[in-house]
């Protein structure tokens, strides 16, 4: 009798501890839902427009985001440089602006080559952030334009340099990492040029 009672107790415990088919199915469904949700987030993030300068963790950009970001930054530098050659009063600012036009035009061709290999669409127009900057600067003239343009150039090159530096160190994509590594020294020179020019026209101090 004692042995029989023990067997009954063990049998009951076994039934209690064994998950029901419905519970198991629910757990599997929850797990699949969680996985699918993460995949959806990753896919949405991958297809966001180029991350704007200074937003989020630069190192966490996907290759697609970074390439869009780089193409947008280059396009903005060229357009703002063209505006500066027309509106600036300082010959130093105009010289800097022309260098930005030439350098970023060449840089963007390199970025476009990698983007084409990756199937990343080339932007054809500035995003809202850069359009706002362009519009703000287009309303200025002379020395007022010089100061505002050079302040923006220092700020913008710091942000772009941060993105390229992060990708050169952290990107798992070989082509993207190589591109960022190659272009980082030139961006460092641009930042130094912008800082020096800003000081020369009395627009601010190096930070």
CATH number of the CATH domain containing 86: 1.20.1260.10
Closest CA to 42 of 19, 73, 63: 63
Residues 67 and 21 in one domain: no
| Domain assignment of residue 179, given as a range | 58-200
On whether the pTM is more than 0.95, the answer is no
Residues 96 and 184 in one domain: yes
Residue 207 has which token pair?
């930070």
207 within domain boundaries: no
155 within domain boundaries: yes
Residues 24 and 89 in one domain: no
70 within domain boundaries: yes
The count of residues in the chain is 207
In this structure, the dihedral spanned by the alpha carbons of residues 33, 34, 39 and 45, taken in order and rounded to 10 degrees, is 120
HSE value, Cβ hemisphere, 13 Å, CA-based, for 104? 24
Residues 41 and 62 in one domain: no
Q: Cα separation of 100 and 36, whole Å?
A: 44
Residues 176 and 143 in one domain: yes
179 within domain boundaries: yes
| Residue 125 Cα to chain centre, angstroms | 17
Specify the pLDDT at position 20.
53
Specify the pLDDT at position 202.
86
Each residue's pLDDT expressed in tens, for the chain with a length of 207 residues: 554 554 444 444 454 455 555 545 555 545 444 434 433 444 444 444 434 444 446 667 899 999 999 999 999 999 999 999 999 999 999 999 999 999 999 999 999 999 999 999 999 999 999 999 999 999 999 999 999 999 999 999 999 999 999 999 999 999 999 999 999 999 999 999 999 999 999 865 434
Count of H helices and E strands in the chain? Answer: 7, 0
- Residues 6+ away with beta carbon under 8 Å from 20: none
CB atoms within 10 A of CB 160: 25
Q: Cα separation of 146 and 202, whole Å?
A: 10
Residues 77 and 152 in one domain: yes
Q: Cα separation of 4 and 11, whole Å?
A: 11
Specify the pLDDT at position 16.
47
Q: How many domains does the chain fold into?
A: 2
Residues 37 and 63 in one domain: no
Q: Cα separation of 147 and 200, whole Å?
A: 10
């Amino acid at each position: 009798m004692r042995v029989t009672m023990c067997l009954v107790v063990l049998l009951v415990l076994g039934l209690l501890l064994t998950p029901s088919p419905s519970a198991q199915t629910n757990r599997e469904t929850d797990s699949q839902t969680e996985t699918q949700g993460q995949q959806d987030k990753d896919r949405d993030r991958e297809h966001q427009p180029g991350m704007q300068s200074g937003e989020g963790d630069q190192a966490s950009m996907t290759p697609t985001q970074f390439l869009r970001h780089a193409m947008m930054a280059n396009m903005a530098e060229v357009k703002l440089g063209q505006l500066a050659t027309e509106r600036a009063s300082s010959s130093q600012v105009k010289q800097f602006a022309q260098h930005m036009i030439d350098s970023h035009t060449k840089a963007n061709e390199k970025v476009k080559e990698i983007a084409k290999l990756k199937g990343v669409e080339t932007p054809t127009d500035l995003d809202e952030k850069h359009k706002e900057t362009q519009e703000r600067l287009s309303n200025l003239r002379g020395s007022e334009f010089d100061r505002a343009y050079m302040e923006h150039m220092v700020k913008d090159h710091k942000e772009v340099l941060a993105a390229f530096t992060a990708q050169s160190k952290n990107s798992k994509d070989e082509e993207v990492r190589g591109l960022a590594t190659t272009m980082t020294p030139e961006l460092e020179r641009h930042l130094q040029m912008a800082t020096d020019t800003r000081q020369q026209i009395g627009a601010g101090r190096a930070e």
